[in-house]
């Protein structure tokens, strides 16, 4: 089931009625659990079995970890959880990818091998709920979180429908304690939650799908070189699309949970206003970047070793982060480019600052590159001007990396990059002037909003607006949703 469908509207309305009915809290939690299974089963009912398997294994392993004192037995229990969760993820998401690369390696060695075609269906959201259950087992193993004794509460933690298929990735300490006592939204929370759901859908349906998706699909889908302006327009369109699509989902998820009285962590904080790549990963997919930091980067050694080891840890983390997004070498290269830019930024900055940190407070200063590194770009003006210039540079570099994220293969990616910089003599014009102007206007507005709101939030701004202004904005978004809801296309991150 997708948020951008009338089916979800009916589903959510019925669920709200049940949640606010005079029922026992345990019954309400059972209703939420059944609704979450229904929400997931709409795609492919048999894949609910994977959720059950992951839930039961991690529930039992955590209880055993809580009782066990022997170090070797505890390691064995942890290995069991990792084997089950990563085994499912490896088979369903990377099985075909590994088989294709194995065949390619054999071919290089002169061995001809043609295995049966792997017909593996990727379960929706498996990367998200796998990381969520892994964080629980790892926290219990480290004795940072006590094993949850209630199977109902743990099952709801794993499957809570707002964030089940595309995040935010929730830690056990962020949701399980909320399940212990009855939760209902206050009037203010309910209004704010419904506003967030509307805003998220507007970002997805009105902007990502309505204004940008067609242009991005056209440019990334052509098999011939394009005019540089067309290439740039298509790539910029995808930059806006991927943000509005993914941040739109997270906003819907946070809003839907808030309508039920639950608080989920932020996942985006205006990433296209980031000043440097460290700042970008403090603002983009925050729950993933913090997960990679806590469960991969720091265990690898983090910043505690020498400089060479720090750069290696950083690159390994970003390469695996890229692979998490998809079973393709283009995603690995995308992660590697981010690792390279993070390493260069650290080198220019010249002082050890932890990477991949989530933004602690929205008001934190974000000038992450030393002033010496500004000299090649001639940025010697005021502090604000320097930050703005570096933010634009960061956005351009991030946009270039999106080429590998979106392109179906390396040939398409390289053809687009060469076209963007005018390195291909054949320049076919694909897009109309109106389309180019539309994309440029949308991106100019998006970047301006990110910059103006980089140190605040939608909730704060909405609280300061007069009631009539907020009402007009809300009504405008609802009208756009009704007029543009022509399909029930999935969110981009469902494929991950």
Buried/exposed code over 262-271 (b: 16+ C-beta within 10 A; e: otherwise): bebbbbbbbb
Nearest in space to 62 (alpha carbons), one of 75, 78, 49, 73: 78
- What is the Cα Rg of the chain in Å? 23
Neighbouring C-beta atoms of residue 425, cutoff 10 Å: 6
- Exposure of 426 in the CB half-sphere (CA atoms within 13 A): 8
Tell me if residue 226 falls in helix, strand or coil. Answer: strand
Residue 2 backbone zone (phi > 0: left; psi -120 to 50: alpha; other: beta): beta
DSSP-derived secondary structure letter, 177: G
Q: What tokens appear for 451 in the block?
A: 């910059």
Element containing residue 150 per DSSP (H, E): none
Which position among 325, 338, 383, 450 bears the catalytic label?
325
Q: Structure tokens of 93?
A: 């998401």
b/e code 1-35 from CB counts within 10 Å (16+ = b): bbbbbeebeebbeebbeebeeeeeeeebbebbbeb
Q: Contact at 8 Å (CB) between 278 and 353? A: yes
Task: Assess whether 325 carries a catalytic annotation.
Answer: yes
H-state helical runs in 68-186: 71-108, 126-141, 151-159, 172-175
Cβ neighbors of 353 (< 8 A, separation 6 or more) are 278, 346, 368
CA 155 – CA 161 distance, rounded (Å): 11
- CA atoms of 206 and 245, how far apart (whole Å): 10
Catalytic positions: 325
């Amino acid at each position: 089931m997708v948020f951008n469908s009338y089916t979800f509207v009916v589903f959510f309305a019925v669920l709200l009625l049940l949640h606010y009915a005079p029922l026992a809290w345990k019954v309400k939690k059972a209703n939420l659990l059944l609704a979450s299974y229904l929400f997931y089963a709409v795609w492919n009912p048999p894949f609910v079995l994977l959720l059950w398997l992951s839930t039961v294994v991690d529930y039992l392993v955590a209880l055993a970890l809580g009782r066990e004192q022997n170090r070797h037995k505890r390691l064995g229990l942890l290995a069991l959880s990792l084997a089950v969760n990563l085994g499912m993820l490896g088979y369903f998401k990377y099985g075909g990818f590994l088989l294709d690369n194995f065949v390619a390696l054999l071919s290089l060695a002169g061995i001809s091998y043609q295995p049966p075609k792997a017909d593996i269906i990727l379960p929706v959201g498996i990367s998200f709920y796998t990381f969520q259950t892994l964080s629980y087992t790892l926290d219990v193993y480290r004795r940072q979180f006590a094993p949850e004794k209630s199977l109902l509460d743990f099952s709801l933690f794993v499957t809570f429908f707002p964030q089940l298929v595309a995040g935010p990735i929730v830690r056990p300490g962020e949701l399980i304690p909320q399940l212990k006592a009855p939760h209902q939204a206050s009037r203010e929370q309910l209004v704010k939650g419904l506003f967030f759901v509307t805003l998220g859908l507007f970002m997805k349906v009105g902007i990502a799908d309505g204004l940008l998706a067609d242009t991005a699909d056209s440019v990334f889908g052509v098999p011939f070189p394009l005019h540089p302006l067309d290439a740039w327009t298509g790539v910029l369109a995808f930059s806006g699309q991927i943000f509005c699509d993914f941040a739109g989902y997270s906003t819907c998820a946070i809003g839907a949970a808030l309508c039920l009285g639950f608080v989920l962590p932020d996942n985006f904080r205006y990433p296209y206003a980031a000043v440097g790549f460290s700042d970008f990963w403090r603002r983009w997919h925050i729950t993933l970047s913090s997960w990679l930091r806590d469960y991969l980067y720091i265990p690898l050694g983090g910043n505690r070793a020498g400089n060479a080891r720090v750069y290696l840890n950083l690159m390994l983390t970003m390469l695996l982060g890229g692979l998490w997004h998809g079973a393709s070498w283009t995603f690995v290269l995308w992660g590697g480019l981010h690792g390279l830019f993070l390493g260069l930024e650290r080198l220019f900055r010249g002082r050890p600052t932890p990477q991949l940190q989530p933004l602690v407070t929205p008001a934190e200063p974000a000038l992450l590159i030393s002033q010496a590194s500004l000299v090649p770009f001639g940025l010697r003006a005021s502090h604000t001007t320097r930050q703005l210039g570096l933010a634009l540079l960061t956005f351009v570099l991030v946009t270039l990396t999106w080429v590998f994220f979106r392109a179906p293969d390396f040939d398409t990616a390289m053809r687009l990059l060469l076209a963007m910089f005018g390195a291909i003599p054949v320049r076919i014009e694909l897009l109309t002037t109106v389309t180019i102007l539309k994309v440029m206007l949308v991106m100019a507005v998006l970047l301006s909003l990110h910059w103006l709101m980089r140190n605040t939030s939608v909730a704060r701004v909405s609280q300061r607006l007069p009631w009539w202004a907020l009402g007009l904005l809300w009504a405008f978004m609802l009208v756009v949703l009704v007029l543009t809801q022509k399909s029930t296309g999935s969110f981009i991150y469902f494929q991950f």
